[in-house]
Amino acid sequence: MSSAYYALFHLLTSETAKNWKRPAERATLERMFNHDPMGKVCTAKRDELREFFKSKPPENKETECKRHLKVITEAFADMLQKRHTADYDKTQKWTRVEVWERIDAVKEAFTSWKAIRDHHEAQNFLVTLLLKERR
């Protein structure tokens, strides 16, 4: 579970860092990401997209991008929770099928990212992953 989660985490952080003009500082930028705030952003975006799709919007490029973002945010929010459980709850036992289902969800998120990586909305989403709650 942890490896699948971290693969998705690093996909998103490295894709964000690629937008940084100076390659030498990209690794430093990647270390600025925090798991819990990213999880909150993904959960909020997932919920927003679930509501959006309840209205049965017409299919177009924007809707297709949102559908892929939904796949990514659902996978990230779910895998963050699963990774936490796998790493800290030693009473939790995972079946092989459960693990493979989660790995498949992460693979699907990778495929979705590849499909939308150049879309404006996808790039905006990456920036939000650096946001922290303000009080």
pLDDT digits (tens, 9 = 90+) for 86-125: 999 989 999 999 999 999 999 999 999 999 999 999 999 9
pLDDT at 29: 84
| Average pLDDT over every residue of 29-44 | 92
Can you give the C-alpha Rg of the chain in angstroms? 15
Give the model confidence (pLDDT) of 15-28 as tens digits.
Answer: 999 988 888 888 88
8-state DSSP, 57: P
pLDDT at 133: 66
pLDDT at 58: 93
Measured CA to CA in angstroms, residue 12 lies from 39, 58, 63, 97 at distances of: 12, 28, 21, 26
Residues 6+ apart with CB under 8 A from 46: 70, 73, 74, 77
Q: What is the overall mean pLDDT for the chain? A: 93
- Percent of all residues in the chain with a pLDDT value above 70, rounded to a whole number: 97
CB 110 within 8 A of CB 42: no
pLDDT greater than 80 at residue 132: no
pLDDT greater than 80 at residue 126: yes
CB 126 within 8 A of CB 15: yes
